Structure 1
Amino acid sequence: MRNRMESPPMKALSSLPPSRRLPLLMALLVAVSLLVSSVLGALVAHWESVDSQLAEVRNLADNGRKTFARTLKDVHADLRTLAGSTTVRAALIGLSRAFEDQGPQARERLQQLYLQDNPNPKGQKQRLNDAGDGSDYSRLHAYLQPWLTNFTEDRGYYDLFLIDPAGKILYTVFKESDFASRLDSPALADSGLAAVYKRAQQLTDTGHYVFADFAPYAPSNGDPAAFIGVPVRSGGSGGRLLGVLVLQLPIEKFNDTLATLGSEGKRVFAEYGRSAAGVIVDDFVHETDAEGRGVRRIRLPVEIDGVRWYVVGEVHDATLYRPGLILGATLLAMAMLAVAVAVPLARRLVRSLWTPVEALASRFDAEVGRSVEEIGGIASQVEIISGRLAHEATDSGNHIRRLLERIDTVSASVGTAAAAVEQISVSIGNINSATGTSELRMSHARERVQAAEAAIGELLGATAEIDKVLRVIEGVAAQTRLLSLNAVIESARAGEYGKGFAVVANEVKALSHQTSGATKEVGGEVEAIRAGSAHSAEGLQGVASAVDQVGEAVRDITGMIGEQRMAVTEIAGMVGAVSGEAQAVAREARDVGASAERTGEEARSMRELAGRLLGDVERTRSRTQAFLAGLRAL
């Protein structure tokens, strides 16, 4: 599936032998690295260049605004100089009188002399200084024209107007159709020149000026014209109004000055007549110039007598982006050159590496083969040992479980033996109490026998008491035989620990039989006493002897019972010790069983790891062989 999705170039590259594919891949890597670095470098340099050029245009616009302000200040200075000039004041007075001397047809007569009859072509009518009619007007005109013509041309003004207080245009330099006309005429009443005149004559301070923005002006072929004017008063500010001095400003007056600030692809110019609404100031906007080319512009506002103009800094997109394009092309060419150099170098490098790579491949093959075999053998041994260990751990767990079962059985038996020993101890206490009572009674019997020797008359009473004692002794003997029988049984159940106790029990048993026999003998004696008083003395002596024997037997029984008590106490202590040891062995056995189970789990995990290691060894062998085959294919 992956091969079907490969592109044709990748298929072609994959089909090449490694000796050619590696140099191409190295060259491709170099090309991609250089291309990425070139693109990033070009982008960074491009935007730095763009920012630098925009900052330069902003500085140009700011300098343009300062230049515009200086130019406007120079215009104002020219107006103040002319308005304060004695020549201009005298000219206004003289021209007003001379204009009146021309009669009611003064406008037609003067236009005839200086326009229709002017030998100079249109646009150069200012070259005529004197019409030659000999009038006062022509003499004054011949005096003023050269001076004011040179002034307007040198200072870059389009035209200069001298207007009397009545609104008659007494003088112009350029001589267009407005010459010698009245400002209240239909052609001029709504013009910017008429507006400046009306506002200027209201000023009392000759140091102030008024301004009318660019608007189509009919006498100048309908081209936009701006006007700036000041009042001319006798004696300066506050004096009598002599007239109004007006300069017609061409846009070139400002743009020619601003043009000196620009450079290739960048320019600064003044813009007028634009509404402040929607205008973005002090920031760049993308627009299209008159020739349809994309430009970036920044507008800085300036004020002229309440009228807003803009000083515009402009740079063409081609100029703005040209350094980045040149740098990108240069970097691309360098990258292509580096690739062209990298291909043969990579091929030579691959060839120079062939011999050591072949030797390295052979050594690597041998070393890896031995290492793989050794690792495989170790893994096999680990797998075998871990299997054995797991089997032995399982067997140990089974043995320990059986041992725990046996220990539990022993613990139960030891508990039963302890209960039996406790019961024997209680029985021995009872026997001890009974033998004490028997010994006391034997003492009484002896006293009675002695009393019987003294008084035979009391023999029947004594024999009656003896009969009672004999019955008690017979009961004690029977109980002793029963206890001795139980002691023999318990000693046999205790095994080796009960052998000494068995001897004692047998002795107790023999003594009980002797006690029973003695009791029978005493009974016979009593019967003999009862049979005949003739044998009383002999019978009493036999009774006394029998009583002494019984006392000795009772004392022996008491000593034996004390020994049995001590033996039973020792047996109880040994049984408790055996029980404690059995519990300790059980705890240790459980711990050993848990360790055996953990050992089995670890052994099984080790066996699984050994199996995976064998698989990894085989995969390593296969990959190593494939890698070495690829190296040898170089």
Structure 2
Amino acid sequence: MHRIFNRLSLKIAHKLPILFVLIAMISVISVGAFSINNTSETIVQQKQQTLTALAEARSTSLNQYLVSIREDIVITAASRNVQDALPQFANGFRDEAQRHNDPLQSLQGIYINEKATTATSSHGNKEALGQKHLFDGPTLLDGLYHSQHQRFHPWFRQMLTERGYYDIFLVDPEGNVVYTVFKELDYATNLLDGKYNQTGLSQAFKAALSNKKVGSISYIDFAPYAPSNDAPASFISTPVVSQSGFEGVLIFQMPIDRINQVLQVSAGMGETGETYLVGSDYFMRSDSRFSQESTILKNKVETTTTKKALNGETGIEITMDYRNIPVLSAYRPFEFQNIRWALIAEIDEQEMLAPVKEARLFILMIGAIVLGVVALLGWLFARSIVHPLQKSTSEMLELADGNQSVEITGLDRKDEIGNIASALQTFKENAIQQTQAASENLRIKSALD
């Protein structure tokens, strides 16, 4: 650099500021590059840790909720109301068969009472579709079933409302759906040889029927369910065993809304983050929080992280999501009753890197400010050196031209400029003495002559 500056035809007034700026530039670029890289890594690591923690928190919350359902169905099956209700409904169902020969037609005609899909009755349910559970039963009809329905239905309805279940079923040992709260078209059908004997509800009944041990649980994963207009439905079942023996099966149709509430908590997820479940068929088992319509069994998520989670792996990485958008994806397996799902927590890479871009811009702005300040300080410093030097040079030229009256500045300085001024003052004094000596010699010589 020394040789380069010597070759440049620049004055010191220009060389010094340039030197300061170059040194500052090298320092700022080096420190800035390190800071940007270090800040970027720190922010990404923080995002990874946060997303991983959120995925774990959602997994824990979901597990606690599903375990509470499992505990609830076991406790409910052992309750006095259920152990009384199921045999009473079963007896009422048989009584209805004796009265009307076809209990499916008579019961659906009274408790559903929709001309387009069922038989109808003048004493039947007048509530609209979706509100059939508000009907306690006919008051003007005789029959064991109706009296028991009026007795037990308010309790089951309150339970469904408070717990958020989609529906609650009681099925007798012969497979007859002797009671449901919501009264869809599966009501009063037979799950062994009836219209819906291949559905998830039937599978839940058959699973409980094959294991009549008190407290045993069977879970059937989401699948389209015809009586619910092919909406996704999953079921959990347990046998009902009283002192008299096996009474039948209690089944809950799982609450999709409650599961979504657990997974769709937006706290900590930013604007683009979401958490969802994916089944072994790669279709969603929960709704995306960004979709107005249900995405369960509709959106296929056959991504790298989903496959890893379904294989039992846990981790986090940048990948393409089901929208073909790059995301930071935290993944982990989630298991409930021998069913494995992939639990995925994701946030768009663009949002994740936004703080990195902001930090990079901030560091660049600080670097530019530092360079500007250094350039100004370099110019001021060069001026503080060059201006006295220029003054000393002018005074030196005056002395060289014989002007012994020139005033020497900078004598009060304690630095090298002061040394130069002292030297010039010495030259001036010596020059004056020489001039005086020459004049004296000339005077003496003139006197002798």
Structure 2 residue 80 is the aligned partner of structure 1 residue 86: yes
Give the Å deviation of 1:106.
Answer: 1.9
Give the Å deviation of 1:58.
Answer: 1.9
1:106 to 103, 120, 135: 103
Give the Å deviation of 1:159.
Answer: 1.3
Structure 2 residue 164 is the aligned partner of structure 1 residue 156: yes
2:367 to 331, 335, 342: 335
Task: Report the residue type matching 2:77 in the other structure.
Answer: A
1:65 to 41, 59, 62: 59
| TM alignment of 1:567-606, pairs within 5 A | none
Query: Residue 214 of structure 1 contacts residue 273 of structure 1 at CA under 8 Å; is this kept in 2?
Result: no
CA distance in 1 between partners of 2:363 and 2:154 (Å): 63
Give the Å deviation of 1:27.
Answer: 4.1
CA distance in 2 between partners of 1:289 and 1:125 (Å): 41
Aligned to 1:254: 259
* Stretch deviating more after TM superposition (195-204 or 273-282): 273-282
CA distance in 2 between partners of 1:294 and 1:282 (Å): 19
Query: Residue 270 of structure 1 contacts residue 312 of structure 1 at CA under 8 Å; is this kept in 2?
Result: yes
Task: Report the residue type matching 2:347 in the other structure.
Answer: V
Aligned to 2:45: 51
Give the Å deviation of 1:70.
Answer: 1.9
Give the Å deviation of 1:92.
Answer: 0.8
1:298 to 312, 330, 350: 330
CA distance in 2 between partners of 1:171 and 1:287 (Å): 48
1:166 to 174, 177, 182: 174
TM-score (norm 2): 0.68
Task: Report the residue type matching 1:350 in the other structure.
Answer: A
Deviation per residue, 1:142-164 (Å, 9 max, x gap): 33333222322322322111111
| TM alignment of 1:255-274, pairs within 5 A | 255-260=260-265, 262-265=267-270, 266-274=273-281
Aligned to 1:316: 348
**2:210 aligns to what SS in structure 1?**
coil
* Stretch deviating more after TM superposition (324-333 or 130-139): 130-139
1:40 to 22, 25, 34: 34
Query: Residue 153 of structure 2 contacts residue 181 of structure 2 at CA under 8 Å; is this kept in 1?
Result: yes
Aligned to 2:290: none
Give the Å deviation of 1:359.
Answer: 6.9
Task: Report the residue type matching 1:53 in the other structure.
Answer: K
Task: Report the residue type matching 1:329 in the other structure.
Answer: L
Query: Residue 62 of structure 2 contacts residue 263 of structure 2 at CA under 8 Å; is this kept in 1?
Result: yes
Query: Residue 296 of structure 1 contacts residue 314 of structure 1 at CA under 8 Å; is this kept in 2?
Result: yes
CA distance in 2 between partners of 1:24 and 1:179 (Å): 89
Query: Residue 189 of structure 2 contacts residue 195 of structure 2 at CA under 8 Å; is this kept in 1?
Result: no
Change (3 A) 1:172 1:46: same
Aligned to 2:383: 351
Query: Residue 318 of structure 2 contacts residue 349 of structure 2 at CA under 8 Å; is this kept in 1?
Result: no
Change (3 A) 1:77 1:342: same
Structure 2 residue 224 is the aligned partner of structure 1 residue 216: yes
TM-score (norm 1): 0.50
Aligned to 1:512: none
Task: Report the residue type matching 1:56 in the other structure.
Answer: T
Give the Å deviation of 1:242.
Answer: 0.8
**1:134 aligns to what SS in structure 2?**
coil
Change (3 A) 1:361 1:247: farther
CA distance in 1 between partners of 2:53 and 2:256 (Å): 22
Task: Report the residue type matching 2:332 in the other structure.
Answer: L
* Stretch deviating more after TM superposition (160-169 or 265-274): 265-274
CA distance in 2 between partners of 1:216 and 1:45 (Å): 48
Task: Report the residue type matching 1:55 in the other structure.
Answer: Q
Give the Å deviation of 1:87.
Answer: 0.9
Give the Å deviation of 1:232.
Answer: 0.4
Would you identify which runs of 4 or more consecutive aligned residues in structure 1 move more than 6 Å? 14-18, 359-364
Aligned to 1:130: 137
CA distance in 1 between partners of 2:353 and 2:340 (Å): 32
Give the Å deviation of 1:330.
Answer: 1.7
Task: Report the residue type matching 1:153 in the other structure.
Answer: T
Change (3 A) 1:357 1:16: closer
Give the Å deviation of 1:41.
Answer: 0.9
Change (3 A) 1:363 1:146: farther
Change (3 A) 1:146 1:334: farther
Give the Å deviation of 1:25.
Answer: 6.2
Aligned to 1:227: 235
CA distance in 2 between partners of 1:219 and 1:360 (Å): 104
Structure 2 residue runs of 5 or longer lacking an equivalent are 1-7, 115-123, 283-305, 397-449
2:215 to 207, 217, 220: 207
Query: Residue 218 of structure 2 contacts residue 337 of structure 2 at CA under 8 Å; is this kept in 1?
Result: yes
Give the Å deviation of 1:22.
Answer: 5.5
Query: Residue 168 of structure 1 contacts residue 180 of structure 1 at CA under 8 Å; is this kept in 2?
Result: yes
Change (3 A) 1:167 1:358: same
CA distance in 2 between partners of 1:41 and 1:101 (Å): 82
Give the Å deviation of 1:325.
Answer: 1.8
CA distance in 1 between partners of 2:392 and 2:235 (Å): 94
Query: Residue 213 of structure 1 contacts residue 273 of structure 1 at CA under 8 Å; is this kept in 2?
Result: no
Is the radius of gyration larger for structure 1 or structure 2?
1
Change (3 A) 1:128 1:352: farther
Aligned to 1:77: 71
CA distance in 2 between partners of 1:25 and 1:118 (Å): 93
Identity %: 27
CA distance in 2 between partners of 1:313 and 1:321 (Å): 17
CA distance in 2 between partners of 1:288 and 1:277 (Å): 13
CA distance in 1 between partners of 2:212 and 2:345 (Å): 38
How many residues are treated as equivalent by the alignment?
A: 349
Give the Å deviation of 1:74.
Answer: 0.7
Aligned to 1:282: 314
Give the Å deviation of 1:358.
Answer: 4.0
Query: Residue 254 of structure 1 contacts residue 270 of structure 1 at CA under 8 Å; is this kept in 2?
Result: no
Task: Report the residue type matching 1:308 in the other structure.
Answer: R
Give the Å deviation of 1:322.
Answer: 2.4
Query: Residue 254 of structure 1 contacts residue 269 of structure 1 at CA under 8 Å; is this kept in 2?
Result: no
Aligned to 2:302: none
CA distance in 2 between partners of 1:113 and 1:247 (Å): 23
CA distance in 2 between partners of 1:24 and 1:146 (Å): 89
CA-based RMSD of the aligned residues comes to 3.2
Structure 2 residue 200 is the aligned partner of structure 1 residue 192: yes
Change (3 A) 1:15 1:152: farther
Change (3 A) 1:228 1:347: same
* Stretch deviating more after TM superposition (249-258 or 22-31): 22-31
* Stretch deviating more after TM superposition (58-67 or 203-212): 58-67
| TM alignment of 1:524-543, pairs within 5 A | none
Aligned to 1:95: 89
Task: Report the residue type matching 2:181 in the other structure.
Answer: V
